[in-house]
Structure formats: structure tokens, C-alpha cells
């Protein structure tokens, strides 16, 4: 009988190859292919995915992480008046080839952000509405290509600022605090490869 670790490893492979985008779907497909009902947690899959990336990308991954964090600093300086926060895998220290640089800003007029980014190439905007905490919340996602990396700027209304400060991560179970510009600049100087991952799932 396949173990949870084996299912997690197969789910991680599906995610790494981008056969599947969502953890839930990857776990279910992995369990079905291994003919088991054992489903690992998202945290277990994330651990295996991290190992897989390490095996396949090696030192290139570390070079990429520093480069992506430096790009994030540049973008956050450009958007400094909108309280930018770096989140996602570049904050965590776990990006893989093809990962985006995810930056959240707070602004009630997304067009202001688009104007700030207008000088950059390959910009595209998409309006997304989703539900969190039982309330409808709208964010505008603006994708910008910087070098070979995609920066996704997520524009959230200022009224939602406090709500998102307590948002929990579905993968790791901790609060998705992210990192702000002053802390990121200091991090790059002192410990550019630092990772922000709990040793075990918090919830």
C-alpha cells in the first residue's frame, strides 16, 4: 500500500511539471494513480515539492531566488506609496523555475498602479472577484515581465488591509505575513537566501 509520503511525492511531481496547478487536484490525481485513498496534507506535498526542486534545479535555484528578490525590491520601490508586500514563493524562499514574483499593494484605484507600471513591457490586467471570510473581495492582478521573470502585482482595496494581515496560508498553516520593503532590503544585505517556512504545519 503506497504511503502518504509516496502520494505527496507524486503530487509534487505533478505540480512541478505543471500538469496540475492546485494542490487539491494534484493530491487526488496522485492518490488515484497509486490506487490509494491516503491523502497527504498540503504541507507534506510542499515539503516533497521543495525537495524535488532542490534535486532538479540545484544551485541555479539559489541564484534565481536572489535575483527575484532584487527585482522585487525595484518594483516595491516604484510602488512604495501603496504599502507593497512581497508574498508567495519568493518571500518564502522556495521559488522554482517559472515561479512568479507576487507583490500585494493597497489602492482603491487600480488604474494608478497600471500608470506606474506603464513604462514596463508586457503588462496585462485582469479583474478577479473571489470570496474570503464570507465577504466578496475584489482584487486586480497586473502581470509585468521583468527580465525573464513575471511580476504579478495584486491590487487590493485599502479597506481590506487589516483583513489580509490575519490571512492564513492554506499550505503551511501560518499567517501569510510576507515582507515589506525595508525588511527585504535588509534581508538581501544580510541573509539573501533566508527561508520563511514553519518546521511543521501550524494549523
CA-closest candidate to residue 186, choices 84, 95, 69: 69
pLDDT digits (tens, 9 = 90+) for 163-201: 888 888 999 999 999 999 999 999 999 999 999 999 876
Rounded CA-CA distance 192/198 in Å is 18
* φ/ψ (deg, to 5) at 178: 65, -165
pLDDT digits (tens, 9 = 90+) for 105-142: 999 998 899 888 876 654 555 545 444 455 667 888 88
Alpha carbon 95 to chain centroid distance? 8
- What domains can you pick out in the chain, each with its CATH number? 4-40 (no CATH), 60-190 (3.30.460)
Strands, E assignment, 88-123? 101-106
pLDDT digits (tens, 9 = 90+) for 87-110: 999 999 999 999 999 999 999 998
pTM above 0.75, yes or no: yes
pLDDT of residue 103: 97
Rounded CA-CA distance 86/105 in Å is 9
In this structure, the number of other CB atoms found within 10 A of the CB of residue 25 comes to 14
pLDDT digits (tens, 9 = 90+) for 33-53: 999 998 999 999 999 999 999
Q: Which long-range contacts (CB under 8 A, 24 or more apart) does 85-88 make?
A: 85/178, 85/179, 85/180, 86/178, 86/179, 86/180, 86/184, 87/176, 87/178
HSE-CB at 174 with a 13 A cutoff on CA atoms is: 14
Amino acid at each position: 500500500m503506497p504511503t502518504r509520503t509516496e502520494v505527496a511525492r507524486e503530487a509534487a511531481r505533478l505540480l512541478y511539471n505543471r500538469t496540475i496547478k492546485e494542490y487539491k487536484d494534484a493530491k487526488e490525481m496522485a492518490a488515484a494513480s497509486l490506487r490509494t485513498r491516503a491523502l497527504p496534507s498540503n504541507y507534506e506535498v510542499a515539503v516533497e515539492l521543495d525537495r524535488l526542486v532542490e534535486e532538479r534545479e540545484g544551485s541555479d535555484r539559489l541564484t534565481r531566488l536572489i535575483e527575484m528578490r532584487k527585482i522585487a525590491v525595484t518594483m516595491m520601490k516604484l510602488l512604495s506609496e501603496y504599502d507593497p508586500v512581497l508574498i508567495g514563493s519568493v518571500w518564502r524562499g522556495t521559488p522554482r523555475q517559472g515561479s512568479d514574483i507576487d507583490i500585494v499593494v493597497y489602492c482603491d484605484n487600480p488604474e494608478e498602479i497600471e500608470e506606474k507600471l506603464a513604462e514596463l513591457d508586457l503588462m496585462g490586467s485582469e479583474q478577479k472577484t473571489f470570496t474570503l471570510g464570507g465577504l466578496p473581495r475584489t482584487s486586480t492582478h497586473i502581470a509585468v515581465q521583468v527580465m525573464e521573470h513575471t511580476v504579478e502585482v495584486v491590487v487590493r482595496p485599502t479597506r481590506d488591509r487589516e483583513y489580509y494581515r490575519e490571512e492564513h496560508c492554506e499550505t503551511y498553516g501560518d499567517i501569510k505575513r510576507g515582507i515589506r520593503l525595508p525588511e527585504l532590503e535588509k534581508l538581501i544585505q544580510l541573509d539573501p537566501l533566508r527561508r520563511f517556512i514553519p518546521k511543521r504545519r501550524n494549523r
